[in-house]
Structure 1
Amino acid sequence: MRCREVVGVDPARLLVLYEELGESEAEEVIATAMEDLAFHLSMIDEASRIGHRSHLRLALPEVATLAESVGLTALARVAEDLCDCVAQGDPVAEAAIMARLNRIAERALTEVWDLDAPPA
């Protein structure tokens, strides 16, 4: 079974970044956020595989905040959902949401990296 979810970038959030910071600084902020997201997502994947729940509880809110800051609202929401599952100790839901987080993260990061210019 192949899951397809809408993973878009909130253009309004990006527009605010470009308006507040200017093109050059906004692009720098976005690039830094993308690098940080990739790093934290890698940590989350590893922590999930080896069962380090404390690392998950620390990294997931950071992913949600970073994702929200660059308009990746679906990624932020799924990171928050996974954080809730970890806190509740539900391993079945955690595995399902972890798979969803990985699917959304891969597509979301690609979409942001593929943006060439500020939204119109």
Structure 2
Amino acid sequence: MVSWEGSAVGAELIIFDACEAAALDDGRIQLLRRSLGDQRCREILAEVVFHLTDRLTLLNAALDAGDGAEAGVLASRLAGLAEQVGLSKFARVARSLRDCLRAEDPVAVSAVAARLGRLAEDSLRGVMRHADPEAI
């Protein structure tokens, strides 16, 4: 949500929400649950959340270090993992980050990496709701 507020000097202030809602494909998780069983599905989802979190940390470190090649590899891996559990929006943004890194566009990299960070929290929380609702 964006809000506009007038200021005393006639300029406009734009305030953006600091989070972005995830798009979780419940059908993908239900398919995993039917094919693997409830317990194994929960284990897989918890494992994917761990790997996503780990790769996000490594991605941020690579970006901070200016290692675009490593950041691109990690963004691709994030996209693949996210697709497996139905996080299509997260995967799409991770692929966009990879593409910005390949294009060597630092402004776009910064913007897309920030978007991925905002999206990550809600995405991981959504998957964890399916893996272990009491952990949230």
TM-score (structure 1 length as normaliser): 0.91
Greater Rg, structure 1 or structure 2?
Answer: 2
Provide the rounded CA distance (Å) in 1 between the counterparts of 2:128 and 2:31: 18
From 63, 80, 84, give the equivalent of 2:95: 80
What do the CA deviations read for 1:30-62 (whole angstroms, capped 9, x no partner)?
Answer: 111110000000000111111011211211111
Cα deviation for residue 75 of structure 1 reads: 0.6
Gaps in structure 2 of 5+ consecutive residues = 1-14
Say yes or no: does 1:2 pair with 2:21.
Answer: no
More strand by share: 2
Gaps in structure 1 of 5+ consecutive residues = none
- The one-letter amino acid paired with 2:88 is T
Equivalent residue, structure 2, for 1:55: 70
Which one has more relative contact order, counting CA pairs under 8 Å at least 6 apart? 1
Say yes or no: does 1:21 pair with 2:21.
Answer: no
Off by >6 Å, runs of 4+ in structure 1: none
Question: How high is the sequence identity, in percent, across the aligned residues?
Answer: 34
What count of residue pairs does the alignment treat as equivalent? 117
- The alignment yields a C-alpha RMSD, in angstroms, of 1.3
- The one-letter amino acid paired with 2:56 is L
Provide the rounded CA distance (Å) in 1 between the counterparts of 2:117 and 2:66: 17
What do the CA deviations read for 1:8-45 (whole angstroms, capped 9, x no partner)?
Answer: 31101101100111111111111111100000000001
Q: Secondary structure at the match of 1:46?
A: helix
Q: Secondary structure at the match of 1:114?
A: helix
More helix by share: 1
- The one-letter amino acid paired with 1:36 is H
